[in-house]
Structure 1
Amino acid sequence: MRVGMHLGYQNCNGIPDAEKFRQETQLAIEAEAMGFDYVGPVEHHFTDYAACPDPFGMLSYVAAKTNHIELITGAVILPWNNPLRVVEQAIQLDILSEGRLILGMGRGAARREFRSFGAELADSREMFDEAALIIMEGIETGIVEADTKWYQIPRTEIRPRPFKSFKDRTVMVSMSPSSVEVAARYGLQTLRFSQGDWRNAVPEINSYRETFEQLHKKAAPPFIISDFVLCFEDKRRVTEYCDSYFSAMFAQVANHYEFMSDHFKELPSYSTYMLMGQAAEAAGGADKAYRDYIAGNLIGTPEELIEHHLERAQMVGDYSILANFSFGGLPYELVYEQAKLFADKVLPKLKS
């Protein structure tokens, strides 16, 4: 089992952005010594919810400070980026890191970010599907060319040229039936965020695996789960920090993506977000949605996290993990403490 570290760059601490950004990035560097297999940031813009506008730039810095840990963009949001530039940036980082890049791609889900980039949430499905194919071809061949609805790019040779295939090193965030279908059709590994009861995701996971095998004549790769993690030896501390910091993070997620808005009802390709909003609107639903969110992520003592993993693996089969230890204003010293405890007590069990 492969276990990585996910960096969210959430600033609920009230400290200067520059200090917070350095703290999160330093944690990514520490991840190698802790024994994590890979590390990577989200791409988000403009708010305290998450502020890492350039995953490639951040990972270039981490590449220079580490030796062997793999680097994942988790994920670069295609409707906000020119696919030609994504190809250039991916190849450049792969060269500098000597082939350690895993290219993770997503399509985004927050209207506030789309609006600032002059794009519409309703167009994200088409934009992602077109851009992903352009990028996949470009990082393999070093040639980018497109004449589609959303992208017109004359035949362009990328320099520096790619030196290594990205086959089996491309990942797609897949949080809806349409995304699962695209990932399987394109032959991409999938990444899913823990957002509730994992039993609800089993049909999509099984559909992905079945479609992938039918189209590509081989088993689908293990999908990746991005978990928020709280890991302390003392159960009382887990409860205290969950009430203080996980609840703050959940409120930020709900606000950033506007779960309580009805705009997702008009966007079938965002069904997961629509269902979360409906759950929160139901009688007693807000509390249940929050409790399901806690139960879906890795919250507990080291022993409880191992047990949670075993139970989840029985439901969903083989998977890998991207663990996010920093969220909701949890002070950096506690972030580091729990990441180190997880690395010492949980990581060896997961990987054995």
Structure 2
Amino acid sequence: MQVGVHLGFQNLHGLPDYEFFRKETQLAIEAEAMGFDFAAMVEHHFTDYAACPDPLQALSYVAAKTKTIKLMPAAVILPWNDPLRVVEKTAMLDALCEGRLHLGMGRGAARREFDKFGVTLHDSREMFDEAALIIMDGLESGYVEADTKWYKQPRAEIRPRPQGWSRDRCVMVSMSPSSCEVAADYGLKALRFSQGDWSKTLPEIDKYRNTFREKHGKQAPPFIISDFMVCFADRAKVTDYTDKYFAAQFRQVANHYEFMSPHFKDLPSYATYAYMGDMAAARGGPDKAYKDYVDGNLIGTPDELYEKHLMRKAMVGDYEIIANFSFGGMPYEDVYEQMKLFADKVMPRLKAEEPVPA
């Protein structure tokens, strides 16, 4: 199993932005020394919910400070980025990190971000589907050209020329039935965020795997789960930090994506977010709904985390993890404590496991 860290850049500490951004980015560098396989970073804009406007640029800094850890934007939001520039920046960083880059792609879900870029949630499905093909073809061929509904691009040669790229190095955020279908059709590894009861996602996961096999004649790769994680040796500290910091970050999630707003009901390609809104309403609002959210993520002592992982693996099959240890304004000394404990006590057990038979 591959295990990584996922940096969310959520600034609820009250720190100046420059200081906070340096501290958060340093986690990716320390992750290599702790034995993590991946360092992943989000793309988000404009608010304290998450403030990393260019993960490829931030990962360039990490590349210069590390030797072996794989680097992944998780994800570049395609409707907010020109495909030609994504290919150029991806090829440039891949050259600098000597082939350690994996490209994560997503389509975004927050109106407050789409509005600032002058595009709409309604168009995100088409924009993503077109841009992803343009980007993957560009990385594989070394040229970018397009004549689609959303993108008109004369043939352009990419320099530095991409090297060794295939779709095996591309990942797609897949949080809805339509996204799972596109990921399988395009032959991409899927990334899912923990957002509740995993049994409810099994139809989507199964369809992704079946469609992938039918389209490409081989088994789908293990999908990636992004977990918000609380890991301490003291059970009382786990409970305290979950209620304090996990609850704070979930309120940020609910507010940022407007889970309580009915607008997702008019967007079938955002069915998961509509479900989250219904769940929050049924439980009396985001402040209480976060407890269901906790159940989907890996929260507990090291032994509890591993047991919860085994239960999830028995349900969903093989998967990989990128874990977010820094959220809700948690002090960085505590972030490091739980990262190190997870790396020492849980990660070796995860990496020693045998794959689930197909």
The percent identity for this pair of structures is 71
Please tell me the residue identity of whatever aligns with 2:89. Answer: Q
Distance, in Å, in 1 between the alignment partners of 2:165 and 2:158 is: 15
Aligned residue pair count:
352
Q: How big is each residue's C-alpha offset from its partner over 1:215-273, in whole Å with a ceiling of 9 and x where there is no partner?
A: 00000000000000000000000011111110000000000000000000000000000
The structure-2 alpha-carbon separation of the partners of 1:222 and 1:283, relative to structure 1 and needing over 3 Å to count, comes to closer
Q: Which residue of 2 aligns with 1:113?
A: 113
TM-aligned CA deviation for residue 204 of structure 1: 0.3
Q: Distance in 2 between matches of 1:203 and 1:134?
A: 29
| Conserved 8 A contact 1:94-1:100 | yes
Q: Corresponding residue for 1:36? A: 36
Matched residue of 1:72: which SS?
A: strand
Alpha-carbon deviation of 1:163?
A: 1.8
Match of 1:13 in 2: 13
- The answer to whether structure 1 residue 197 and structure 2 residue 197 are counterparts is yes
TM-score if structure 1 supplies the norm length? Answer: 0.99
Q: Which residue of 1 aligns with 2:100?
A: 100
1:284 offset after TM fit, Å? 4.7
CA shift, 1:69, in A, is: 0.5
- What corresponds to 2:356 in structure 1? none
Cα deviation for residue 165 of structure 1 reads 2.0
Q: Structure 1 residue 283: deviation in Å?
A: 5.2
Counterpart-to-counterpart distance in 2, 1:287 and 1:324: 21
Corresponding position of 1:280 = 280
- For the residue of structure 2 that corresponds to 1:315, the secondary structure is helix
Asked if the contact 1:196–1:289 (Cα under 8 Å) also holds between the matched residues in 2, the reply is: no
List 4+ stretches of structure 1 deviating above 4 A: 283-288
* Partner of residue 306, structure 1: 306
Aligned mates of 2:219, 2:40 — CA distance in 1: 25
Give the Cα–Cα distance (whole angstroms) in 2 for the partners of residues 288 and 175 of structure 1.
22
Distance change in 2, residues 1:42/1:286 (3 Å) = closer
* Conserved 8 A contact 2:247-2:287: no
Give the letter aligned to residue 204 of structure 2.
E
Quote the Cα distance in structure 1 between the aligned partners of 2:212 and 2:77: 23
Q: Structure 1 residue 152 and structure 2 residue 152: aligned?
A: yes
8 Å CA contact retained: 2:192, 2:226 = yes
Following superposition, the deviation at residue 282 of structure 1 comes to 1.6
Whole-angstrom distance in 2 between the partners of 1:210 and 1:59? 34
**1:29 is matched by which residue type in structure 2?**
I
Alpha-carbon distance in structure 2 between the residues aligned to 1:197 and 1:146: 40
Q: What's the counterpart of residue 78 of structure 1?
A: 78
Partner of 1:292: 292
Scaled by the length of structure 2, the TM-score of the pair is 0.97
Given that 1:10 and 1:51 are in contact with CA atoms closer than 8 Å, whether structure 2 keeps it comes out as: yes
CA distance in 1, matches of 2:286, 2:168: 39
**Partner-residue secondary structure (3-state), 2:9:** coil
1:167: how far off?
A: 3.3
Matches within 5 A, 1:264-275: 264-275=264-275
2:91 and 2:162 in contact (8 A); partners too: yes
Q: Is the Cα–Cα contact under 8 Å of residues 7 and 41 in structure 1 kept in the other structure?
A: yes
Tell me the distance in 2 between the aligned counterparts of 1:89 and 1:47: 24
Q: Aligned with 1:101: secondary structure?
A: coil
Query: For residues 144-223 of structure 1, what are the structure 2 equivalents within 5 Å?
Result: 144-223=144-223
Determine if the alignment matches structure 1 residue 45 to structure 2 residue 48: no
RMSD of aligned alpha carbons: 0.9
1:241-252 paired onto structure 2 within 5 Å? 241-252=241-252
Aligned mates of 2:9, 2:303 — CA distance in 1: 28
Contact 1:234/1:301, CA 8 A, preserved across alignment: yes
Measured after TM superposition, the shift of residue 290 of structure 1 is 1.7
Q: SS at 1:248's partner residue?
A: helix
Instruction: Tell me the secondary structure at the aligned position of residue 168 of structure 1.
Output: helix
Counterpart-to-counterpart distance in 1, 2:128 and 2:282? 32
Change (3 A) 1:197 1:33: same
Offset from partner CA, 1:145-178 (integer Å, 9 cap, x none):
0011100000111111112123311000000000
Tell me the distance in 2 between the aligned counterparts of 1:238 and 1:283: 23
Gaps of 5+ in 2: 353-358
Structure 1 unpaired stretches of 5+ = none
